[in-house]
């Protein structure tokens, strides 16, 4: 196994480790805390251009992270009232969103815990974490693995989970992308292969209705130029259920027009958050500031509050079944 280096020490004394992956023109750094993709770079025009937002110090993650690069769960997104029912039995989850709702797995979700690096090579890293029965209110013991595979033209993120009792699972990979390597996302263009999006209420929770993007502010079927003055925090419908193999979901092009990222996923949804509230008072990679809209998220997902809205799909993982998700981020230089 490729040796891991020490990235920092948690307040409880546990060590956070980091592994570095390399393949062709790509390089990535992964830390055990949150199974975070801390850094991702491509060699382009003689520079190692950063593609994601991250921090150089562990304490900055602990104090200021807005889930940069983390794998959040058990259930990424929002659960109304922090309540759910499975097979007629009700469960109360922690309410870490305004004291009213459950968000991203709770106060101490999996994206804010130290995982274990179980394997690492020059091009891959596999991390694992166990969430005990009753954790943040969830039933069953969940065992979750995240496998990063660096490829010559991109990064593949594979997630798998098993449980000892029926439980909802929706793991979000929460990297913030900026294809220019600096600044804000002004001038990036985005295309999303979705004809529908979820209607949200005033609290940012889905009503259960799927609406056509045509004629709305959520129509990204053709490339649209983004502005840092906008606010997007929306879920798009890619399919009715998870697919067996990744399918094209979105294309992002940097404002410098020299790099494109294509996203393909097995998941039925894609959540677009443009980072309007993700500023941090500490510097990021290479000392860059984290301003509002310094990066955007394209999160492969099942849907917010689907456990209470069965029309949005079955999100219950049962014993003897396995939760699987595979998402690929592919990068293509654009000739001048």
Residues acting as catalytic residues: 174, 299
Cβ burial of 167 (10 Å; 0-12, 13-18, 19+) is buried
Instruction: Give the whole-angstrom CA distance, residue 300 versus residue 233.
Output: 13
- How far is residue 11's CA from residue 271's CA, in Å, rounded to a whole number? 33
Residues contacting residue 31 through CB under 8 Å, at least 6 positions apart = 7, 16, 17, 18, 38, 58, 61
Please, which residues have CB within 8 angstroms of residue 266's CB and are 6 or more apart in sequence? 242, 243, 244, 245, 246, 247, 300, 324, 325, 326, 327
DSSP 3-state of 187: coil
- Cα(13)–Cα(32) distance, integer angstroms: 14
Start-to-end Cα distance in the chain: 41
Closest to 174 (Cα-Cα) out of 286, 282, 327, 10: 327
Tokens matching residue 153 = 């033209």
């Amino acid at each position: 196994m490729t040796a891991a280096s020490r990235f920092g020490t948690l307040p409880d004394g546990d060590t956070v480790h980091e592994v570095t992956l390399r393949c062709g023109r790509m390089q990535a750094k992964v830390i055990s805390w949150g199974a975070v993709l801390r850094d991702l770079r491509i060699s382009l025009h003689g520079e190692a251009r950063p593609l994601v937002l991250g921090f150089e110090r562990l304490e900055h993650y602990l104090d200021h992270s807005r889930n940069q690069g983390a794998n959040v769960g058990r259930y990424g997104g929002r659960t109304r009232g922090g309540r759910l029912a499975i097979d007629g039995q009700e469960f109360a989850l922690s309410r870490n969103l305004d004291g009213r709702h459950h968000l991203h797995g709770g106060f101490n979700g999996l994206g804010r815990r130290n995982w274990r690096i179980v394997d690492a090579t020059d091009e891959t890293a596999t991390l694992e974490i166990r969430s005990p029965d009753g954790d943040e209110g969830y039933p069953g013991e969940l065992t979750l693995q995240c496998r990063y595979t660096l490829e010559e033209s991109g990064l593949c993120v594979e997630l798998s989970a098993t449980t000892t009792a029926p439980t909802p699972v929706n793991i979000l990979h929460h990297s913030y992308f900026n294809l220019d390597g600096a600044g804000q996302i002004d001038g990036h263009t985005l295309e999303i292969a979705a004809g529908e999006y979820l209607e949200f209420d005033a609290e940012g929770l889905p009503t259960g209705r799927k609406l056509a993007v045509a004629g709305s502010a959520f129509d990204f079927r053709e490339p649209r130029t983004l502005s840092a003055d906008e606010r997007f925090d929306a879920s798009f419908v890619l399919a009715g259920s998870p697919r067996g193999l990744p399918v094209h979901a979105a294309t992002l092009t940097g404002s410098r027009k020299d790099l494109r990222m294509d996203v393909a996923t097995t998941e039925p949804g894609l959540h677009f958050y443009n980072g309007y509230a993700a500023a941090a008072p500490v510097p990021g990679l290479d000392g860059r500031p984290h301003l509002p809209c310094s990066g955007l998220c394209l999160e492969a997902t099942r849907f917010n509050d689907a456990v209470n809205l069965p029309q949005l799909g079955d999100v219950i993982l049962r014993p003897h079944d396995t939760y699987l998700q595979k998402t690929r981020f592919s990068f293509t230089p654009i000739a001048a």
